[in-house]
């Protein structure tokens, strides 16, 4: 394994095209030419030649990227961010039912029944990851439904007549986003638990199961 990253040696990014890789190598080769008038750095030229041989061949480059992918991504690249998963709209992968979920949510904001003092009700969803997301890790956002103060009536529900926007409740349905960080080398079937108290929900625990096709 090289002491330095091949992309760094050639002065290109890990997403560089074949043309950019070739130009990076040529810059170093031309600088090493006697006519350039610069002091010849044999070690740098040897590294550049080795890097070019590997990165210029598609199969060798894929193998190299696989070997060094975890280190390079964890140090130099942010975790990939997925499109948010909407809890309410994710009917097929949601347990318990959507009706039960909304009922539990309303308890937190309207107090229809006392909040549960016992174990959390688990809100189970499935997250299907691509192979690269499982290997290198990713950020998985969830849009969690909640209620916020009605902006039309300032949360009072009236006062002279029922507010048509919140139906007199003083609050309207909205959503808050929470993010689950999936670490590198995630395994099929792993489960993660997320406390929802930061978004005002104290009787639900989000349980995410990882599926890797």
Neighbours of 52 (CB within 10 A): 20
Work out how many domains the chain is built from and give that number: 2
**The pLDDT value given to residue 2:** 45
Within this chain, do residues 120 and 70 fall inside the same structural domain, yes or no? no
Element at 179 (helix H, strand E) = strand 171-182
Tokens of 196: 């929802």
Within this chain, do residues 194 and 111 fall inside the same structural domain, yes or no? yes
**The pLDDT value given to residue 166:** 85
Within this chain, do residues 95 and 131 fall inside the same structural domain, yes or no? yes
Nearest to 48 by CA among 65, 70, 33, 68: 33
Domain finish residue from 60, 76, 92: 76
Within this chain, do residues 30 and 109 fall inside the same structural domain, yes or no? no
Binned at pLDDT 50, 70 and 90, residue 115 comes out as: very low
Question: Cβ contacts of residue 177 below 8 Å, gap of 6+?
Answer: 84, 141, 142, 143, 144
Any domain includes 32: yes
Using DSSP, state whether 36 is helix, strand or coil.
helix
105 within 8 A of 145, measured Cβ to Cβ: yes
pLDDT digits (tens, 9 = 90+) for 160-200: 788 888 888 888 888 888 888 888 888 898 998 888 888 88
Domain finish residue from 29, 51, 76: 76
| Cα dist from 174 to 96, 117, 143, 162, whole Å | 20, 25, 9, 20
């Amino acid at each position: 394994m090289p002491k330095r990253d091949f992309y760094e040696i050639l002065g290109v990014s890990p997403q560089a095209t074949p043309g950019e890789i070739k130009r990076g190598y040529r810059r170093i080769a031309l600088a090493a030419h006697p006519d350039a008038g610069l002091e010849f750095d044999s070690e740098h030229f040897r590294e550049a030649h080795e890097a070019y041989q590997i990165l210029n061949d598609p199969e060798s480059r894929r193998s190299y990227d696989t070997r060094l992918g975890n280190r390079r991504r964890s140090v130099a690249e942010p975790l990939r961010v997925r499109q948010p998963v909407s809890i309410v709209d994710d009917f097929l992968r949601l347990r318990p039912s959507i009706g039960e979920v909304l009922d539990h949510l309303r308890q937190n904001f309207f107090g229809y029944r006392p909040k549960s003092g016992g174990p959390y009700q688990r809100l189970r969803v499935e997250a299907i990851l691509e192979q690269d997301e499982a290997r290198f890790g990713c950020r998985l956002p969830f849009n969690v439904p909640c209620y916020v103060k009605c902006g039309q009536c300032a949360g009072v529900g009236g006062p002279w007549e029922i507010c048509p926007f919140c139906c007199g409740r003083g609050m309207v349905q909205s959503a808050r986003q929470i993010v689950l960080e999936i670490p590198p080398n995630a395994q099929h079937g792993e489960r993660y638990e997320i406390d929802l108290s930061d978004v005002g929900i104290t009787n639900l625990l989000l349980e995410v199961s990882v599926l890797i096709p």
